[in-house]
Amino acid sequence: MNLSEAKNIFQKLRADKTAILTSDVMTATAPELKEKSLLVSLDENLQTVDVTVRERILNELHGFGPITHLLADESVTEILVNQFDQIYFERLGKLQRSEDHFFDSNSYKDFIEKLCNFCQTYINAEKPFIEVQLNNLRITVLFPEICRGEFIVSIRKQPLTRWTFDRLNLQDWAKPEEIAAIKHFIHQKKNFLVIGGTGSGKTSLLQACINEMNQDRLVIIEDTQELNPVFSQNTSLLTRLDPTKKLIDVTMNDLIKKALRLRPDRICVGEIRGEEATALLMALATGHDGSFGSLHARTAHEALLRLEMLIQMGAPQWSLQSIRRLIGLTVQNILVVEKRDGKRCLKGIYELGSVEEYGITLQQLET
């Protein structure tokens, strides 16, 4: 596609206040368009316009511009826009720069307005960010004042097909005996953490685990809805943060406490990132075996250190030794995932050992 040609035609359309562009452009000839008054003052320019150029103009006017085809591409898992002429996307675990981009800053602002309408919200200096989940899209938008003068957009696409251990196995995510070990933890109702960096596949593993729990009542707690309850006896709870302060905020901590009144056999926390770690581990100490959650950390040792710090946020009066004993009492295993050369995989399975003066011992399981 000739991007400069599409841009020139688009700018003429925008300059001509009487020009109306509809899907008829895709099939109509230039004379027909002129007769229908769908396009004015373009005359012979349209006679040689390629259909891909017309489609690109339509996407800019009525769709989501240069990211329209990326949204439709199932192999694309994330779309990042830094400014109107900088679009990146992740395909098969690798970040690439798009050859296409918005025509100019004005068309990018038009896209932001469409995106706000799509999300049924708004963004301005008083409400400088958008974080919403719509269908399989997790959309984040940041206002220019907090990101060096340009809107920043991140759209993460969740797979339409649920992750299962069979699907992970087909992608050589781990050795069959490692997957068998994880299934054993689930059926034996051991409490475990899934850890890894951003984009390492924590959510995919959590979803696969949920698919194994067809007999128990599971309550899922998240701040962004990414996990599917799968079975009818399961349910999910979502946090609420209202920047306008018109509504009461509902935190992870609040939801964990409420979840205990919903007769859960197990609890799953989509991501542990704050003082809710204290409430979760206290809940595990009183029962609810087989519960699990995810945590951002690169190694099992780093995960334990971070978990200690998060519990201290919720219970600063507790001694470090008491916190470690609570962790040792309630968490049995840690599953470490990573993204290696663009491929998501299982890095290791660890078992928590004894609580010592220097910390909790860890042993990597050999399979």
Quote the tokens at residue 188: 């034996």
Q: What is the pLDDT of residue 4?
A: 81
Collapsing DSSP states into helix, strand and coil, what is residue 24? Answer: helix
Q: How far is CA 61 from the centre of its chain?
A: 27
Residue 226: how many CB atoms within 10 A of its CB? 20
> Looking at residue 319, which CATH number applies to its domain?
3.40.50.300
Q: How many domains does the chain have?
A: 2
Q: What is the pLDDT of residue 14?
A: 67
> Residue 32 contacts by C-beta under 8 Å, 6 or more apart in sequence?
24
How far apart (Å, rounded) are the C-alpha atoms in residues 354 and 360? 6
Whether residues 218 and 320 fall in one domain = yes
Is pLDDT of 28 > 90? no
Q: What is the number of residues in the chain?
A: 367
Whether residues 231 and 274 fall in one domain = yes
Q: Between these two residues, 10 and 142, which has the higher pLDDT value?
A: 142
Look at the alpha carbons of 10, 12, 14, 20 in this order and tell me if their dihedral is positive or negative: negative
Whether residues 172 and 231 fall in one domain = yes
> Looking at residue 52, which CATH number applies to its domain?
3.30.450.380
Whether residues 145 and 181 fall in one domain = no
Whether residues 302 and 342 fall in one domain = yes
Q: State pLDDT tens for residues 39-71.
A: 444 444 445 567 777 788 778 877 899 999 999
Q: Which of 157, 188, 208 is where one domain is finished?
A: 157
Q: Which of 115, 136, 157 is where one domain is finished?
A: 157
Q: How far is CA 5 from the centre of its chain?
A: 35
Q: What is the pLDDT of residue 59?
A: 82
Q: Percent of the chain, pLDDT > 70?
A: 89
Whether residues 208 and 151 fall in one domain = no
Whether residues 217 and 108 fall in one domain = no
Whether residues 86 and 233 fall in one domain = no
Whether residues 187 and 112 fall in one domain = no
Output the 3-class SS for 125-186.
CCCCEEEEEECCEEEEEECHHHCCCCCEEEEEECCCCCCCHHHHHHCCCCCHHHHHHHHHHH
Q: State pLDDT tens for residues 223-241.
A: 888 899 999 999 999 998 8
Whether residues 220 and 80 fall in one domain = no
Whether residues 135 and 249 fall in one domain = no
Helix (H) or strand (E) holding 116: helix 105-119
Q: Which of 133, 157, 181 is where one domain is finished?
A: 157
Is pLDDT of 212 > 90? yes
Range of the domain at 349: 165-364
Q: Between these two residues, 74 and 331, which has the higher pLDDT value?
A: 331
Whether residues 108 and 186 fall in one domain = no
Contact between residue 205 and residue 292 where contact means Cβ atoms under 8 Å apart? no
HSE-CB for 176 with a 13 A CA cutoff: 1
CB burial of residue 147 (10 Å; 0-12, 13-18, 19+):
middle
Q: State pLDDT tens for residues 120-161.
A: 899 998 889 898 888 889 999 999 999 878 999 999 998 878
